[in-house]
Amino acid sequence: MSRITSLEMNPATRPTDDDPGRDPYFRAEHVSPDKARFGGQALSAERRRRRFRATTILLIAALVSTWSIVLVDPNIGPLVLFALGAFGMTLGVMGAAMGLGLLGFGLFAAGDRIIGWFRRGSTWPDS
């Protein structure tokens, strides 16, 4: 049997890891009641929203300035416009093919219904 000392019996006198006096990096403002009550969520959400808007505006400005320089350049501009036109025409051809496919599917489904309607209404000989 081990002998229990007074330090082991009274946990309040024992230094703990949560003791702010023993932690040199502990700051009371990190766990203050004001922070717990308000949560800091409204301020941080508004701050994040403003930062997102500012980042988005800067990105758009950078893209517009870069593409305006590229499109004005007489050596690269026509090439970029040709590539964009080819991409647009490819999308147009694919859209037209999808439209024709949907039209054919719809016509096939309608024809199948009509043929079924005619077969039910007609009397064929059972020979």
State whether residue 19 is helix, strand or coil. Answer: coil
Residues of the chain with pLDDT below 70 are 1-24, 26-43, 124-127
Query: What is the rounded distance in angstroms from the CA atom of residue 73 to the CA atom of residue 68?
Result: 9
Residue-level pLDDT at 118: 85
Query: What is the rounded distance in angstroms from the CA atom of residue 9 to the CA atom of residue 5?
Result: 6
Whole-prediction pTM value?
A: 0.43
Residue-level pLDDT at 47: 87
Query: What is the rounded distance in angstroms from the CA atom of residue 44 to the CA atom of residue 59?
Result: 22
Residue-level pLDDT at 33: 60
Residue-level pLDDT at 30: 63
Residue-level pLDDT at 51: 92
Query: With contact defined as beta carbons under 8 Å apart, do 103 and 111 qualify?
Result: no
Residue-level pLDDT at 119: 84
Q: What angle do CA 103, 106, 111 make, to 5 degrees?
A: 125
Residue-level pLDDT at 43: 62
Amino acid at 35: K
Residue-level pLDDT at 18: 58
The Cα-based distances of 26 to 11, 29, 30, 38, 118 in angstroms read 22, 9, 8, 21, 86
